[in-house]
Amino acid sequence: MNIDLLTGFVRDIRSARRAANEFERLNRMNSTELAQLGLDRTEISSYAFNKHFNKR
């Protein structure tokens, strides 16, 4: 197995865990707290995904 492929796979797993944790953290916030971050409840999943996957 190619080491770069394995490294990428592990990195994706870490990113997925971080995105899931971010989603859970934001989902526990109320609307006022989310607004202070510039977020609406409907944007939580895309924000968490983009934060941890699109930074590459």
pLDDT in tens, the chain (56 residues): 689 999 999 999 999 999 999 999 999 999 999 999 999 999 999 999 999 998 64
pTM above 0.75, yes or no: yes
pLDDT attached to residue 31 = 96
Residue range of the domain that includes 29: 3-53
Cβ(52)–Cβ(22) under 8 Å?
yes
pLDDT value at residue 38: 97
Report pLDDT for 55: 62
Domain count, the chain: 1
Note the pLDDT of residue 20.
97
- Integer Cα distance of 33 and 11 in angstroms: 30
